[in-house]
Chain A
């Protein structure tokens, strides 16, 4: 059968999964975002060391810190989900196991992201 696809389709390079280089790009985008967010996260954690619960709630719930923490959570969980998908695709060759692990990977990343984000929002609205 003759190739009926247009040159535009080839240029877009989306391939059979219709996602193309989406993961590649998003992994680099979140990597760039992660650098300042990790620096901020470490500074926040160190600043909170040894403080009592009330002070920790106060600081983590303050708008500026809460937004940084939310950005940190979204960026790292997106990054780690793609990263673990690459690891699974590299080493797990049985189709069934691979499918189960890929689903579990997404569930895990989403659960961590949502639980953490929910906790940050709870801290924010409690203050």
Chain B
């Protein structure tokens, strides 16, 4: 942003890349990335709903995509992004009411977000596979 001569000669303020990566900082970046991914992921939700409302053939089209390895990969990523962003959001809400800023607390919250999102994703997929595998 420094366009004028005077500002170009001044020392630049240190930016993200000079810092040693920390867990809280990484979680902050991941929160934004998962948010952006979920933004485009809503297209899947809209596609699924429109197909269900359209015809059995359109719905089967969604089903065959979701059943492909690529579809499964996207769905798995979507599940994790959703869980991570949700737990990260809860962490932000805790901060918003003025708690969890201590050095120990914020590390614990960041760790809980990560472990929680991975655990929830795995649980959802285990339950999902049990449902698909079950008689219906």
- A7 contacts the other chain (CB 8 A): no
A38 and B60 CA atoms in complex are apart in Å by 24
Contact segment of A10-18, A95-103, A118-126 = A118-126
Main SS class of interface, A: helix
Interface size on B, residues (CB 8 A): 33
Chain B interface (Cβ within 8 Å of chain A)?
A: 1, 32, 35-36, 38-39, 42-43, 45-46, 49-50, 52-53, 55-56, 59-60, 79, 82, 86, 89-90, 92-93, 96, 124, 127-128, 131-132, 134, 136
- A74 contacts the other chain (CB 8 A): no
CB distance from B114 to the nearest CB of A (A): 18
Q: Which residue in B45, B49, B82, B131 is a CB contact (below 8 Å) of A50?
A: B131
Range of interface residues on chain A? 35 or more
Chain A interface (Cβ within 8 Å of chain B)?
A: 28, 31-32, 34-35, 38, 42, 46-47, 49-54, 56-57, 60, 69, 73, 76-77, 80, 83-84, 87, 93, 108, 112, 115-116, 118-120, 122-123, 126
Please tell me if the beta carbons of B42 and A28 are within 8 angstroms of each other in the complex: no
List, in ascending order, chain A residues with CB within 8 A of B53's CB: 57, 118-120, 122-123, 126
CB distance from A78 to the nearest CB of B (A): 12
List, in ascending order, chain A residues with CB within 8 A of B90's CB: 35
CB distance from B43 to the nearest CB of A (A): 7
Please tell me if the beta carbons of A80 and B42 are within 8 angstroms of each other in the complex: yes
A49 and B134 CA atoms in complex are apart in Å by 10
List, in ascending order, chain B residues with CB within 8 A of A32's CB: 93
List, in ascending order, chain B residues with CB within 8 A of A118's CB: 53
A54 and B124 CA atoms in complex are apart in Å by 24
A selection of 13 A-B contacts at a CB cut-off of 8 Å is A28-B96, A31-B92, A34-B89, A47-B131, A49-B128, A53-B56, A76-B38, A80-B39, A83-B39, A84-B36, A87-B32, A87-B36, A119-B49
List, in ascending order, chain B residues with CB within 8 A of A112's CB: 42-43, 45-46
List, in ascending order, chain B residues with CB within 8 A of A116's CB: 42, 45-46, 49-50
Q: Which 7 A-B pairs have the closest CB atoms?
A: A119-B49, A119-B53, A53-B56, A122-B53, A50-B132, A53-B59, A119-B50
A35 and B116 CA atoms in complex are apart in Å by 14
List, in ascending order, chain A residues with CB within 8 A of B93's CB: 28, 31-32
Please tell me if the beta carbons of A42 and B82 are within 8 angstroms of each other in the complex: yes
List, in ascending order, chain A residues with CB within 8 A of B35's CB: 80, 83-84, 87
